[in-house]
């Protein structure tokens, strides 16, 4: 029997493409919640790196704050102004997720998933939230301080717009601010879960953009974004006498930044855990095959 040369032999059968090999096939809910929990466990295991990631993440949120105020300055129609703010703000969460930096509201959901999977203790979860909140707050204030000190294009109409948004954010009643904060992370952390569920870069970017776009145009309350929206007009008035001076302040008054930070932190925690992390983890458990 004459054997055929190597070049003429029938090629081996190509392996069939499994559904999980399709870059456009979404991961299962179970695989997604494990990926999100992995992120939280990694952050908790490296607290100093996590602090730096939170500082940078806070600054990235401030990018969105600044740009959203710029594009909405002088726009008189509320719906159009909100749309423009959402479009400008949408890139901030995409920057954070793609770069591997950190946002406290994402860590609230991710950390609880790790706790529910028994991969993180409640104490470690609390420490994760405290470090993330501190880092994000400092990061956004550093960026806002530089913008305020610069003045220039951030005075005049921009400063008036920043003051109006700051008063509106800080002046909402407790119940309203709390529930708007719940809605905020319901939007935002759903988009985070979809980001980790997706395989293609295009889908991930789209999901990451949707979260901040939705919570901004929806008029909701995000703890770190509010530090920028309320802190920037305060800093502008501190650096420049011509900037508007309003009723908002740094403390625990009715229009205080500290008051808003406490209320929105609680609301964001409820929204990201009760309405996102718990349902997704429950679905993952219910979809597990019977043993």
- Residues 88-138 have pLDDT tens digits of 999 999 999 999 999 999 999 999 999 999 999 999 999 999 999 999 999
Alpha helices by DSSP H, listed for the chain, are 29-45, 47-72, 78-99, 104-116, 122-150, 157-170, 174-197, 201-217, 223-239, 257-272, 278-286
DSSP-derived 3-state class of residue 79 = helix
Specify the pLDDT at position 17. 40
| Start-to-end C-alpha separation, the chain | 53
In DSSP terms, 249 is beta-bridged to: 256
Convert the pLDDT of each residue in 199-228 to its tens digit.
Answer: 888 889 999 999 999 999 999 999 999 999
Name the token pair of 108: 């609230």
Compute the distance between CA of residue 43 and CA of residue 52 in angstroms, rounded to an integer. Answer: 11
Q: In this structure, how many other beta carbons lie within 10 angstroms of the beta carbon of residue 187?
A: 22
pLDDT at residue number 13: 42
pLDDT score, position 7 = 40
Percent of the chain surpassing pLDDT 90: 86
- The pLDDT value given to residue 23: 62
Q: What is the pLDDT of residue 25?
A: 75
Below-50 pLDDT ranges, the chain:
1-17, 19-20
**Domains annotated on the chain, with CATH:** 27-286 (1.20.1080.10)
């Amino acid at each position: 029997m004459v054997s055929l040369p190597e070049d003429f032999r029938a090629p081996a059968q190509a392996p069939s493409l499994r559904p999980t090999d399709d870059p456009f096939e979404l991961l299962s809910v179970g695989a997604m919640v494990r990926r999100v929990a992995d992120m939280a466990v990694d952050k908790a295991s490296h607290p100093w790196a996590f602090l730096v990631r939170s500082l940078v993440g806070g600054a990235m949120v401030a990018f969105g704050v600044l740009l959203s105020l710029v594009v909405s300055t002088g726009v008189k129609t509320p719906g159009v102004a909100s749309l423009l703010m959402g479009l400008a703000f949408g890139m901030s969460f995409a920057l954070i997720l793609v770069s591997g930096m950190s946002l406290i509201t994402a860590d609230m959901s991710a950390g609880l998933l790790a706790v529910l999977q028994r991969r993180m203790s409640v104490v470690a979860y609390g420490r994760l939230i405290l470090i993330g909140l501190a880092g994000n707050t400092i990061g956004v204030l550093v960026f806002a301080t530089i913008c305020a000190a610069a003045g220039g294009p951030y005075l005049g109409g921009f400063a008036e717009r920043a003051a109006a948004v700051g008063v509106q954010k800080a002046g909402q009643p407790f119940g309203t601010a709390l529930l708007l904060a719940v809605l905020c992370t319901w939007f935002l952390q759903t988009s985070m879960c979809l980001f980790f569920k997706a395989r293609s870069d295009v889908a991930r970017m789209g999901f990451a953009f949707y979260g901040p776009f939705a919570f901004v145009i929806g008029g909701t309350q995000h703890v770190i974004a509010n530090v920028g929206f309320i802190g920037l007009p305060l800093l502008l008035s501190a650096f420049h006498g011509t900037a508007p001076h309003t009723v908002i302040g740094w403390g625990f008054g009715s229009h205080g930044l500290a008051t808003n930070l406490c209320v929105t932190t609680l609301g964001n925690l409820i929204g990201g855990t009760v309405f996102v992390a718990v349902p997704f983890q429950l679905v993952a458990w219910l979809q597990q095959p019977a043993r």
